[in-house]
Amino acid sequence: MVKSFQSDATITCNQQIQGDYYRMLLQAPDIAAAAKPGQFIHVQIPEMEHRILRRPFSISDADPANSTLTIVYKVVGTGTAQLKKMPPGTQVNILGPRGKGFSELPTDRRSILVGGGYGCAAIYLLARKAPIPPLILLGGRSHKDIIMVDEFKALGCEVRLSTDDGSTGEKGRVTLLLEKALTEFPAGRIAACGPVPMLKAVAALCDSQQLDCEVSMDSVMCCGMGACFACVIKRKASNQQGWTYVRACQEGPVFKSTEVFWD
Ligand code: FES
């Protein structure tokens, strides 16, 4: 059982990265100390209190020494539009860390981390804690969706890019980069976060080569506590016949690629 904390966290920074992408730093000592790569926090956005629901955000970084949590978000609706207006000093109620994160990366071989759009936020802490700097593959629709490149490079990671329109990096899907990288060296593990179709393609590629792969499933969440079942995904039944529903907020959001029943 994951130990979680509820905290009135103070925003210390809330800055635009580029376009619709923002980075927020929060003072939350207990959550920063407990956070693991791939976990998330559930944020109550004050202007939305009447709606009760919280919004989930992947923990992009956690610095227990400074009691700081980092999230990276894209403005996609009313909740995130409110979030971007919050100045430093504002308090927000957050719950976390929640969910099952990524496993520790192997110590003997370089791993490959794949991020689609703001999915790169969920793999940053994993890259920072990696025993060997992993190869980072970032994909997006266009150059506007490629973020955090310099942050990954500052960790000593090699970073390769792809965009659907070819405006930066290779033209095409990020799975093309993965396909090529898998011919270059034996990866310790592949870990991915991004849109479900991207995860499905990553899983198909890795499963066909029997590679160790984990995916962070993007799912609609309401309670974030395992109570409402809004976040369910299909997991293969243990006898490999059919599937059962599991809660992404509780049993995930990170799953082995071979566990997921891909429709
Ligand atoms: Fe309610 Fe997962 S969000 S059970």
Is 13 a pocket residue for ligand 1 (Cβ < 6 Å)?
no
pLDDT band at 221 (very low <50, low <70, confident <90, very high): confident
pLDDT given at position 47: 64
Is 227 a pocket residue for ligand 1 (Cβ < 6 Å)?
yes
Mean pLDDT score of the chain, rounded to an integer? 94
Which residue of 228, 245, 251 sits with most ligand 1 atoms within 8 Å of its CB, as the best mutation to test the pocket?
A: 228
pLDDT band at 255 (very low <50, low <70, confident <90, very high): very high
In ligand 1, which atom is closest to the CA atom of 226? Answer: 4
pLDDT band at 187 (very low <50, low <70, confident <90, very high): very high
Question: Starting from the edge strand earliest in sequence, which strands make up the sheet with 91-98, in order?
Answer: 55-58, 40-44, 91-98, 5-18, 21-27, 68-74, 61-63
174 pLDDT more than 60: yes
User: What are the strands, taking DSSP E only, across 145-253?
Assistant: 158-163, 170-171, 190-193, 213-216, 232-236, 243-247
135 pLDDT more than 90: yes
pLDDT given at position 49: 55
Tens-place pLDDT, residues 114-134: 999 999 999 999 999 999 999
**What is the model's pTM?**
0.95
In ligand 1, which atom is closest to the CA atom of 222? Answer: 3
Is 230 a pocket residue for ligand 1 (Cβ < 6 Å)?
yes
81 pLDDT more than 70: yes
Which residue of 42, 95, 229 sits with most ligand 1 atoms within 8 Å of its CB, as the best mutation to test the pocket?
A: 229
CA-wise closest residue to 127 among 161, 96, 162, 158: 158
Give me ligand 1 centre to Cα 223, in Å: 5
